[in-house]
Amino acid sequence: MVYTTFKEIVDRSSAIVIGWPTSTKGVVNTARDPKDPTRQDPNYFGIGQVYEVQVDRYLKGNGPDLIYVIQNEGLIPSKSKEVTEDEVVQAKKLSNTLPLTIGDQYIMFLSASEFSYDNFSKDGLFIGRGHPWRFEVTSSECVQPEDALTVVIRYFPSQTLDKFIELINDPNAAPEMPYPAQGISGGCTPENIRPYP
């Protein structure tokens, strides 16, 4: 799913946090059995990389100061055999997914997990869904989407942290960005940091 408006991304998130990943906590199988979603898929291993995230502030919802966020980073046909670490590394390389950077600050649009995974209970467990689900906070003057699907910058151009939070608090105030957006370039630089749109 690709989000194109602040309203969509805010409405479909059960929690929105400002925080930073402190460490990785292993990989879980996120592939679900189509006949019984409470069980793992017997034929596929969904690489769910678990990140421990320190929450600085909840912008929507509430919860603990320390949460776990699962990002899907690849898929392996498993046929019920054990998946090796080498297979996980290779599948991650092929997945074209950007891992979270430990220590970097993000605004994350999250969904509470419907399931428990291995040693992780549902409490305090979240999943980033859709594109984009996370925005890098490089400074108070620069918040921008961080996603392998680079087209999302057309809908969510770089802007200040204060303006970004205003749009989360009142997503209806954000005008829709025409497609393709005119004059939008990549990352945050002094000349292209501007309020939405």
| Identity of the residue numbered 54 | Q
**Per-residue pLDDT for 179 more than 80?**
no
Residue 49 contacts residue 75 (beta carbons within 8 Å): no
d(CA 65, CA 124): 9
Domains belonging to the chain, first-starting first, are 6-173 (2.40.50.120)
Q: Which helix (H) or strand (E) holds 112?
A: strand 106-112
**Per-residue pLDDT for 187 more than 70?**
no
Closest CA to 167 of 15, 14, 6: 6
User: Can you tell me the mean pLDDT for 163-176?
Assistant: 84
Share of the chain above pLDDT 70, in %: 88
Tokens for 91?
């599948």
DSSP string, 127-143: E--SB--EEEEEETTEE
For residue 177, the model assigns a pLDDT of 57
